[in-house]
């Protein structure tokens, strides 16, 4: 059992977010990710995060072409990350790639242990279906299916909850993670040039301050020539909503020293979870919601 799981205080660690340049060349994307993870580990990172859809362009045309069957032993992307995690003895939160499972496709994040095992698999639950006329229209549900399970990973450094991109817009998910003991939520994500400047940081600070935990997000680097231009700005937000580390739009690695004792301290200073008036608001109220009344 990991130290965190057994209730013994987890040790501080260095976190790295690899904001990768993603191209149409899948082999090149894998080689690039491998180099970035090696560099992060050589700089002392014990937990390394990759972006959403790091092995393929973010488009509905690409998802089926680049998809891999994860449990077949024939997934070059996950094979590379598993070997790397083992060789470097680090955790890798493997961003996401398109996963093919029977006749369906998912936007899936695999988490690898320092032993090279896949210790968690998370399938994006809230699909990115939006239409802001003249600005951005995207419908992941044209090709992808939403996952149906939340994912908490118990590591030797603490408990991490996984979400992918659009998931960060759903505070209920983050709150459930916090209630399950999560100390850091990791969101591989690729916001865009319309929503990114306004919502990316705001949402992460909101999730962090509501739940008094760390939030780490990892985006692909910006590529103005791509059909979907990512906002970039991978970052780490602390449990007091402070920006711990961040970058802009170029490829690079963001590092942060994480001490999860901060989470405990913030929660002791302001015991929100004990002050909650759960008698007044119940998630069940949203359960059968058919949406806002316009
Ligand atoms: O790409 C996504 O899933 C999310 C996104 O850009 C947004 O919510 O604005």
Tens of pLDDT, residue by residue, the chain (294 residues) = 444 444 456 799 999 999 999 999 999 999 999 999 999 999 999 999 999 999 999 999 999 999 999 987 789 999 999 999 999 999 999 999 999 999 999 999 999 999 999 999 999 999 999 999 999 999 999 999 999 999 999 999 999 999 999 999 999 999 999 999 999 999 999 999 999 999 999 999 999 999 999 999 999 999 999 999 999 999 999 999 999 999 999 999 999 999 999 999 999 999 999 999 988 887 666 666 666 666
Short-list 178, 263, 190, 244, CA closest to 222? 190
- Tally of domains within the chain: 1
Q: Which domain holds residue 107?
A: 13-273
Determine whether the shortest distance from the Cβ of 66 to ligand 1 is under 6 A. Answer: no
What was the ipTM of the complex prediction? 0.94
The residue assigned the tokens 């590529």 is: 223
Determine whether the shortest distance from the Cβ of 96 to ligand 1 is under 6 A. Answer: no
For the entire predicted model, the pTM comes to: 0.95
Domain-embedded: residue 5: no
Domain-embedded: residue 205: yes
Phi first, then psi, for residue 121 (nearest 5°) are -140, 125
CA 162/CA 93 separation, integer angstroms: 9
User: For residue 38, what is the enclosing H or E element?
Assistant: helix 26-42
Domain-embedded: residue 281: no
Domain-embedded: residue 287: no
Task: Please identify every residue annotated as catalytic.
Answer: 52, 124, 165
Ligand 1 center to 169 CA (angstroms): 9
Domain-embedded: residue 286: no
For the record, the structure tokens of 95 come out as 């961003």
**CATH code, domain carrying 88:** 3.60.110.10
Ligand 1 center to 83 CA (angstroms): 30
Domain-embedded: residue 175: yes
Ligand 1 center to 7 CA (angstroms): 35
Domain-embedded: residue 293: no
Domain-embedded: residue 52: yes
């Amino acid at each position: 059992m990991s130290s965190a799981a057994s209730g013994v205080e987890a040790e501080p660690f260095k976190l790295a977010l690899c904001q990768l340049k993603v191209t149409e060349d899948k082999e090149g994307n894998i080689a690039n990710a491998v180099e970035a993870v090696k560099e992060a580990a050589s700089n002392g990172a014990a937990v390394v995060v990759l972006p959403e859809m790091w092995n393929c362009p973010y488009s509905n045309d690409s998802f089926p072409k680049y998809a891999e069957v994860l449990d077949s032993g024939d997934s070059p992307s996950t094979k590379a990350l598993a070997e790397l995690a083992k060789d470097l003895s680090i955790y890798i939160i493997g961003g996401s790639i398109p996963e093919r499972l029977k006749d369906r496709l998912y936007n899936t994040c695999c988490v690898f242990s320092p032993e090279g095992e896949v210790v968690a698999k998370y399938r994006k639950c809230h699909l990115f279906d939006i239409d802001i006329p003249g600005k951005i229209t995207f419908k992941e549900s044209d090709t992808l299916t939403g996952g149906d399970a939340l994912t908490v990973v118990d590591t030797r450094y603490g408990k991490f909850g996984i979400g992918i991109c659009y998931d960060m817009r759903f505070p209920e998910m983050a709150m459930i993670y916090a209630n399950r003991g999560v100390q850091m939520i990791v969101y591989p994500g690729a916001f865009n040039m319309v929503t990114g400047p306004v919502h990316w940081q705001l949402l992460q600070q909101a999730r962090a301050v509501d739940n008094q935990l760390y939030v780490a997000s990892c985006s692909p680097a910006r590529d103005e020539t791509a059909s979907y231009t990512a906002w970039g700005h991978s970052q780490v937000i602390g449990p007091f909503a402070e920006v711990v580390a961040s970058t802009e739009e170029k490829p690079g690695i963001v590092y942060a020293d994480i001490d999860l004792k901060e989470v405990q301290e913030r929660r002791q200073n302001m015991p929100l979870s004990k002050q909650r008036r759960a008698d007044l608001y119940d998630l069940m109220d949203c359960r059968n919601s058919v949406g806002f009344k316009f």
